[in-house]
Amino acid sequence: MLMYTLKRLLFTIPTLIGVAVLVFFMLRIVPGDIVEVKLRGDGGNVTQEVVEQERKRLGLDRPLIVQFGDYMWGLARGDLGISMWTERPVIEEIMIRLELSLEVAILATIFATMISIPLGTAAALFRNTWIDYVVRIVTIGGLSIPSFWFGMIIIVSLLTFFNWLPPITFTPIYVDPVANLSQLIWPALAVGYRYCAVTARMIRSSLLEVLAEDYIRTARAKGVYEKLVVSRHALRNALLPAITVMGLEFAFLIGGLVVTEQVFNLNGIGQLFVQSVSRNDFMLIQGMVIMIAAFYVLINLAVDLLYAVFDPRIRYGN
């Protein structure tokens, strides 16, 4: 198991290097860089000389291959470089915003888990009844409704029905949990709806599959209470595929946050990413993309390993 984990960890390195190479060169296919946006973005009239100077200062005048070597050398030492816009270290820019985004993601996960398990179970147990249909419509809605629009609808509803808006400034949860939650619970709901829908669908289908298995019939035949059949025998196995989906969706929550943070005006990872794209801040884009990819790959690995923990039939590395 340990060997397997180490092997898998090693295999993530080429993927991440690939991500870094791909992003580095993709961003530089088309000429033009941050200096243009920074100095001429608002129609500012700046001489070519000033532009060249700024380029030189940021090291953008060097040959591409040198810049690339420099960047990769930095990466090897765990240095993501310096934001071209704020000129602060990329890692610092990310870290100050990580807490907020991570908290929204965790809240969304809690919300999704709490709702999706009963929802998916009910849909499977009452297959093809109105309960099932309602759950199916609600979950397809979760896949179709854009999370950012759902967020806007939440704001409109809060305004219309309670004449209240969530606070705008971020308070860490250990300082004031009430203020913190009253701000972050709404974006968590907005991104959590999709999360919950995906998981509930998975639970429904895998529970249906498990309920058709022989050992369930055996359990029923020997007179086990239906409640126990479902909770002990069926659900335990049905939740395995759901774990995969939850892991993958957790890693993809950042995608939902990219847009939803904008709606709630949260200064998190998502908003930072959008800002860096609209400012052509290549260093920041690269750094964030590598972090997101690393996060995703690691979550993937964690899910695979968790599988072995929950399902004794699976043993890796033998």
Q: Determine how many CB atoms are found less than 10 A away from the CB of residue 307.
A: 17
Closest CA to 278 of 41, 21, 20: 41
Minimum distance, C-beta of residue 289 to other proteins, in the bound complex (Å): 6
> 219 or 286, CB closer to other proteins?
286
Nearer to other proteins, 159 or 228 (CB): 159
Confirm if 83 and 163 have CB atoms less than 8 A apart: no
In the complex, minimum distance from the CB of residue 244 to other proteins, in angstroms, rounded to a whole number: 13
Q: Are 58 and 84 in contact (CB under 8 A)?
A: yes
> CB-based contacts of 5: which residues, under 8 Å, 6+ apart?
301, 305
First to last CA, the chain: 8
Residue closer to other proteins (CB basis): 252 or 316? 252
Q: Which is closer to other proteins, CB of 14 or CB of 223?
A: 14
Please, what is the minimum distance in Å from the beta carbon of residue 179 to other proteins? 21
Nearer to other proteins, 47 or 163 (CB): 163
Q: State the CB neighbour count (10 A cutoff) for residue 230.
A: 21
Report angle CA 254, 256, 259 to the nearest 5 degrees.
Answer: 105
User: Between residues 102 and 224, which has the closer beta carbon with respect to other proteins?
Assistant: 102
- Least distance in Å: CB of 176 to other proteins? 26
User: Which amino acid is it at 305?
Assistant: L
Minimum Å gap between C-beta 35 and other proteins is 15
Integer Cα distance of 42 and 60 in angstroms? 21
User: Cβ of residue 306: shortest distance to other proteins, in angstroms?
Assistant: 19
Task: List C-alpha distances in Å: 12 to 3, 79, 284, 301.
Answer: 14, 18, 22, 9
Q: How far is the CB of 31 from other proteins (least distance, A)?
A: 10
28 vs 220, beta carbon nearer other proteins: 28
Q: Which of 195, 55, 185 is nearest to 139 (CA)?
A: 195
Which residues of this chain interact with other proteins, rule CB under 8 A? 14-16, 18-19, 22-23, 26-30, 32, 140-141, 143-146, 148-149, 152-153, 155-156, 159-160, 201-202, 205, 251-252, 254-255, 258-259, 262-263, 273-274, 276-278, 280, 282, 285, 289, 292-293, 296-297
